[in-house]
Structure 1
Amino acid sequence: MNDDQSRKRLGRGLAALLGEIDKNPDEAAVQPDGQVPLDAIAHNKRNPRRSFSEDDLDNLARSIQQHGLVQPIVVRPLVGHTQRYEIIAGERRWRAAQKAGLAQVPVILRDVNDRTALELAIVENVQRSDLNPVEEALGYQQLIEDHNYTQADLGQVIGKSRSYVANTLRLLKLPDIVRDMLVDGQLSAGHARALITVQDPVALAQRIVEEGLSVRQAEAIAQGTAEEGETEPAEKAPKPEKDADTRALEKLLADVIGLKVAINHKPKGGELRIGYKSLEQLDDLCRRLKG
């Protein structure tokens, strides 16, 4: 099976491979393949998830003590060992089961290779929103570097747009201190994306946290449309009014593409600006420009 066929299979057969583990706990529980000793299960060193809240684990452990482990842990045979298993998905449940004092846990056994195990771990965590943005980006980078995935391939597998994957990967360009704030939850992914293009992302990140700025406010500052002590309207020279022909052409183009259009004439040539409000609008424009 070539890489392309494998990726398509993963996209179509994810629920089957994972045993539909993304079901809500209130829905019918998936039938596990059996019970195995908890100490026969090892964590996956390639698991993209690195952060586990102790409070979250304690809460889950109490729930497990009361109701049992509702969702089985997805495992694969541990290479070179007999009756030993490595986690594909469910490390949080495994850690909580240890806290709850369980001796055995239900598992779903899948015999898959390293690449598929990593793919499944990433997809399962993305579906559950269990990864912080940095962990998600590192997982995508690992698939790209280790298994020759393109951004478009990843988008298809995880059910996201290519631009979503690209913007998530761009978070890895941020300074370590900003990435730490992102991991700690002080910044959201939206805040972080606004920081990527600014000259001093650390200073703006600290300002976002200190002032409790929204993503929209952070984006406005990053784009230079809002500054402290704003007196810009009085200080800026008025823009020359556009002639009727230019305004008519802007309206014509805007009607055709469905986005705001601005035409600015200069002594030599000029520029055409197209504004978009979302990455989906940008994707749509790119598809239309490609014919």
Structure 2
Amino acid sequence: MATKKSTLGKGLSALIASSEMSGTDSPYKEKFDIEKISPNPYQPRMNIDPAELVEIADSIRENGVIQPLIITKNPDGPNYYIIAGERRFRASKLAGLKHVPVVIKDSSPQEMLELALIENIQRQDLNPLEEATAFKQLQDQFGLTQTDISKKMGLSRVAITNKIRLLALPSAVQEYVLNQDLSEGHARALLGISDDSSLVAAANIIVKKKLSVRETEELVRKINFGKDKAKNERIEFDHRTRKALERISERLGYTTRLTRMSKGGKLTIRYLTNSELTDLLKKLAE
């Protein structure tokens, strides 16, 4: 895993920096009753490693909670929901703390999901499917477009599109991704297989044989075109052609594939839903 960033991320750092950290009306509370705090119902992270919580709890016993939790009032009850700091909250309870430092912020359900996403993404804590599920929730429940989400998360629209497409994988393959048996690269390669039974069978082979992403891409080619045909059709593109394909994919926001055939070839643009087809046709007509 890449080195974790020390910053809180744009959303969280701005949130804390804008708060007056002194005075009786301050949103910052040095000692807040931990029993009044509940987990974020919009928390995108599905799994938290118990061993990781034990490590954080040990650190909290030694040094206390250095970074305050960000919480918001539950409009339908007496408790407060966590916006950011889910692991610190759980570890603090594990460490036996009765009070924790907090910053109280007025927040809508959409903001609760967005800020929790920012915290987890910038700390590289989320599984690709957890990110995809949260992005889809922002899209379906709160009406955000993929462009809106990309701006809020600081990611390209293509990255958002590719994440959401992972949700089209069969549940058995999604489990492999959630359990980190398959990487996002493996999963994206598997999306090139059209029928679910072949896709699941391929995923089982990849996990069993511990295939690399490149080997997975080759396996997908063989499944789609047949082993012998795949050998004949394999093509090594020159640098200029690869760059052109990358620019096409970047501009359209959809995966493109160039295939050499016995006579000529074909350029394939893959989409998964009718709405994606509408979006694609609109872009091609521009």
Counterpart for residue 154 of structure 1: 149
Structure 1 residues not aligned, in runs of 5+: 1-10, 21-30, 240-249, 275-287
Cα deviation, residue 265, structure 1: 9.0
Matching residue within 140, 145, 150 for 1:145: 140
Equivalent pair of 2:40/2:112 in contact (CA under 8 Å): no
Q: TM-score, normalized by length of structure 1?
A: 0.70
Point out 4+ residue stretches in structure 1 off by more than 6 angstroms: 225-228, 230-233, 260-265, 288-291
Equivalent pair of 1:73/1:94 in contact (CA under 8 Å): yes
Q: Please give the alpha-carbon distance, in whole angstroms, between the structure 1 residues aligned to 2:266 and 2:202.
A: 30
* Residue correspondence of structure 1 range 114-129 to structure 2 within 5 A: 114-129=109-124
RMSD of aligned C-alpha atoms?
3.7
Alignment: residue pair count: 240
Cα deviation code 1:49-102 (max 9, x no counterpart): 1211111111111111112112211101121444x3110111111111111111
Percent same amino acid among aligned pairs? 35
Of stretches 218-227 and 182-191 in structure 1, the one that deviates more from structure 2 is 218-227
Is residue 72 from structure 1 mapped to residue 68 from structure 2 by the alignment? Answer: yes
Q: Please give the alpha-carbon distance, in whole angstroms, between the structure 1 residues aligned to 2:259 and 2:45.
A: 44
Equivalent pair of 1:122/1:136 in contact (CA under 8 Å): yes
Is residue 208 from structure 1 mapped to residue 206 from structure 2 by the alignment? Answer: yes
Equivalent pair of 1:72/1:106 in contact (CA under 8 Å): yes
Is residue 46 from structure 1 mapped to residue 45 from structure 2 by the alignment? Answer: no
* Equivalent residue letter for 1:40: K
- Cα 1:263–1:185 change in 2 (3 A) is closer
Q: Secondary structure at 1:209's aligned position in 2?
A: helix
- Cα 1:80–1:263 change in 2 (3 A) is closer
Q: TM-score, normalized by length of structure 2?
A: 0.72
- Cα 1:204–1:262 change in 2 (3 A) is closer
Counterpart for residue 57 of structure 1: 53
Cα deviation, residue 258, structure 1: 4.9
Counterpart for residue 27 of structure 1: none
* Residue correspondence of structure 1 range 163-242 to structure 2 within 5 A: 163-198=158-193, 199=195, 200-224=198-222, 236=232
Cα deviation code 1:189-212 (max 9, x no counterpart): 111111112142211111111111
- Cα 1:19–1:96 change in 2 (3 A) is farther
* Equivalent residue letter for 2:201: A
* Equivalent residue letter for 1:154: I
- Cα 1:100–1:13 change in 2 (3 A) is closer
Equivalent pair of 1:221/1:227 in contact (CA under 8 Å): no
Q: Secondary structure at 1:106's aligned position in 2?
A: strand
Structure 2 residues not aligned, in runs of 5+: 1-8, 19-26, 246-257, 269-282
